[in-house]
Structure 1
């Protein structure tokens, strides 16, 4: 992978990114809750402001995610969709996948077992989940 850049570093959360094969791989390490989810959202939005369009959100090191964490991912998805970008979610644990399942959102996302697998094929412009969600 490319050079990892740190964009959030706190005691309970780290967010790094690398750019590989036109994908911006955002790795989240820590819990995504009411205190940290806005930082993750703002970090990805900041990357979009810098011109990044195609994202892999690597959740392999996410220890906990509540509805605020899911809300941050939805906000990011809306923005990526508005700008015809791409989004894949990688390395989500069964607990994280369950959050998407119980909310009925799992089918709207492209989940991959690892970031490496997610970046192996080229991004498809406009492949983020369509929003508003039609359920």
Structure 2
């Protein structure tokens, strides 16, 4: 039932990066999402925005990947923000309480603007 997972880095600037995710996030594709996100964080972009516009399905493996990505971002003095979360996934994030630790915005642009107004650049 797995669609290919599409991952595209759409923005990198300073400590902020945005990654567009498409397809299904499941037991087969979650490791690739986690690896790509952690690679972006390791490249000096600890504040990561995941644009989930194209996500068609997310199971518990996907949720675990999101939690792992968030933990790594926080360990690197960063954050994980979600953008354009599909309705079904948004409801699951609310039900599991993950929406309280992973802020979400209607678009990547809105998430970037929020980041720029709330996160000071390191000195």
Range class of TM-score, shorter chain: 0.7 to 0.9
Matches within 5 A, 1:116-131: 116-121=109-114, 122=116, 124=119
- C-alpha separation between the residues in 1 aligned to 2:41 and 2:74? 12
1:58, 1:89 within 8 Å by CA — same for their partners in 2?
Answer: yes
Superposed CA RMSD: 1.6
- Using structure 2 for the length normalisation, give the TM-score: 0.85
Report Cα offsets for 1:72-100 as digits up to 9, x if no partner. Answer: 00000000111111221000011011121
How many aligned positions are there? 115
1:20, 1:119 within 8 Å by CA — same for their partners in 2?
Answer: no
Moved over 4 A (4+): none
Could you tell me which runs of 5 or more consecutive residues in structure 1 were left unpaired when the two chains were aligned.
1-10, 126-135
Q: Look up the match of 1:12.
A: 4
Could you tell me which runs of 5 or more consecutive residues in structure 2 were left unpaired when the two chains were aligned.
none
- Using structure 1 for the length normalisation, give the TM-score: 0.78
